[in-house]
Amino acid sequence: MKIPKPMSPFRLSSRLRSEKDPTLAFNLFKNPNPDLKPADKPFRYSLLSYDLIITKLGRFKMFDELEQVLHQLKNDTRIVPEEIIFCNVMKYYGRAKLHERALKVFDEMPHYRSPRTVKAVNSLLNALLMSQKFDEMKEVWKNMPARILVLIIY
């Protein structure tokens, strides 16, 4: 009997990119090596595989699954996610009028080891605008740390 070759992070990214069904892509992401024993060393995800699955789940409005991936990303201390990933997540939430989740993602960005810049502020404000939460836009603006406001001015 032939022993299956373990999935590599590169191969996982390739399979996620080509998978059309977001549910199958999510299941593949959760368990990239189903034939290996749990005692084997854990799978080391790449930033690209996180980005691909987050994008796929966000486009298909699979927000509960997206939250699971974000939680896993937060606990994966080897990975330092880029700000654009969170900007995209806020965009998906804004399109779905889930402004509370967009605010939560913005607030939690430092917990993911990702700094917030003017791009994240603009993504949050845009999500609030798409959700038609104008009062909350004012609150976000008023409570914005001074260092981010300086970035916005320049």
Integer angstrom CA distances of residue 49 from 41, 85, 101, 131, 133: 18, 12, 22, 29, 32
Computed from CA positions of residues 50, 52, 56, 58, in that sequence, does the dihedral angle turn out positive or negative?
A: positive
pLDDT of 151 reads 52
Cα distance between residue 109 and residue 66, in whole Å: 15
pLDDT of 118 reads 83
* pLDDT tens, position by position, 37-89: 665 678 899 999 999 999 999 999 999 999 999 999 999 999 999 999 999 99
- Where in the chain are the domains? 8-32+44-79, 82-154
Look at phi and psi of residue 142 and say left if phi exceeds 0, alpha if psi is from -120 to 50, else beta: alpha
Angle between helices 9-18 and 47-59 (to 10 degrees): 20
Residue 5 has pLDDT above 90, yes or no: no
* pLDDT tens, position by position, 101-146: 999 999 999 999 998 888 998 899 899 998 888 788 777 777 776 5
